[in-house]
């Protein structure tokens, strides 16, 4: 069996990455989403081992120091990282592996795995992003302020990605994302 492809999906919090990736998993049967480790506290409804592996800082750092993370980064005061073993396994099984991670991590992965494809999901505008973050109602004012600042920084890296998709209309953005992944995956399937 051929090795699967590695796709990184980044974009500011509130750009709709999570929704798009969830829909993508239904649209592309051999897509596989990596579950990250984080030191962030669970939000209501998040499930250990499905949303994230929720760790304290000591356990997270122990994983990082043991070389068990493909990449890791600090974002808005918390650590986030991709467990290496499960990504390797899924690629070995020929899956289209999806990492939903922020930009510093994306560039670390590109260093290690140059054939990884980097996909940037953009909100239609910063105003729309702010509106979506507020509507989500899961973050306090200080967190929203931090995330908008982080969004400005992330948007400044978008040109370094292989492809940029504007999530204005969800079904159009999904169609573009699916077409891109299927296009890249074609060679390695079957």
The least CB distance from residue 106 to ligand 5GP, in Å, is 7
User: Any contact of residue 102 with ligand 5GP (CB under 6 A)?
Assistant: yes
On whether the CB atoms of residues 10 and 103 are closer than 8 A, the answer is yes
Could you tell me which stretch among 20-28, 55-63, 72-80, 85-93 binds ligand 5GP (CB under 6 A)? 72-80
User: What are the Cα distances from residue 7, in Å, to 17, 31, 45, 161?
Assistant: 13, 10, 26, 11
Inter-residue contact 93 to 86 (CB < 8 Å): no
- Angle of helix 126-136 relative to helix 141-155, nearest 10 degrees? 150
Backbone phi, psi, residue 79, to 5°? -100, 145
Residue closer to ligand 5GP (CB basis): 148 or 188: 148
Is 82 an interacting residue with respect to ligand 5GP (CB under 6 A)?
yes
Residue 75 touches ligand 5GP, criterion: CB under 6 A: yes
Q: Are 122 and 15 in contact (CB under 8 A)?
A: yes
Q: Is 32 in the site for ligand 5GP (CB under 6 A)?
A: no
CB of 1 to ligand 5GP, least distance (A): 26
Q: Does the protein bind ligand 5GP through residue 7 (CB under 6 A)?
A: no
Stretch that binds ligand 5GP, among 79-87, 90-98, 115-123, 128-136 (CB under 6 A): 79-87
Q: Which of 73, 91, 97, 174 binds ligand 5GP (CB under 6 A)?
A: 73
The residue within the footprint of ligand 5GP, chosen from 60, 71, 96, 119 (CB under 6 A), is 71
Residue identified by tokens 């209501």 is: 44
149-152, Cβ contacts within 8 angstroms, sequence gap of 24 or more: 150/12, 150/13, 150/75, 150/76, 150/102, 151/12, 151/13, 151/14, 151/15, 151/123, 151/126, 152/126
Instruction: Tell me: does residue 16 bind ligand 5GP (CB under 6 A).
Output: no
Q: Which residues bind ligand 5GP (CB under 6 A)?
A: 13, 36, 40, 71-73, 75, 80-82, 100-102, 104-105
């Amino acid at each position: 069996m051929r090795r699967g492809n590695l796709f990184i999906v980044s974009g500011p919090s509130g750009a709709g990455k999570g929704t798009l990736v969830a829909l993508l998993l239904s649209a592309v049967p051999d897509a596989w989403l990596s579950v990250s480790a984080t030191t962030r506290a669970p939000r209501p409804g998040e499930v250990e081992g499905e949303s994230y592996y929720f760790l304290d800082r000591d356990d997270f750092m122990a994983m990082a120091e043991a070389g068990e993370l493909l990449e890791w980064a600090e974002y808005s005061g918390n650590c986030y990282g991709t467990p290496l073993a499960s990504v390797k396994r899924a690629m070995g099984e020929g899956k289209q592996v999806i990492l939903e991670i922020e930009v510093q991590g994306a560039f670390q992965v590109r260093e290690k795995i140059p054939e990884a494809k980097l996909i940037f999901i953009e909100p239609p505008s910063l105003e729309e992003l702010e509106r979506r973050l507020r509507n989500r109602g899961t973050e306090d004012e200080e967190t929203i302020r931090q995330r908008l600042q982080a969004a400005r920084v992330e948007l400044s890296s978008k040109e370094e990605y292989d492809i940029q998709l504007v999530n204005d209309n969800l079904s159009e953005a999904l169609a573009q994302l699916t077409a891109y992944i299927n296009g890249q995956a074609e060679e390695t399937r079957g």
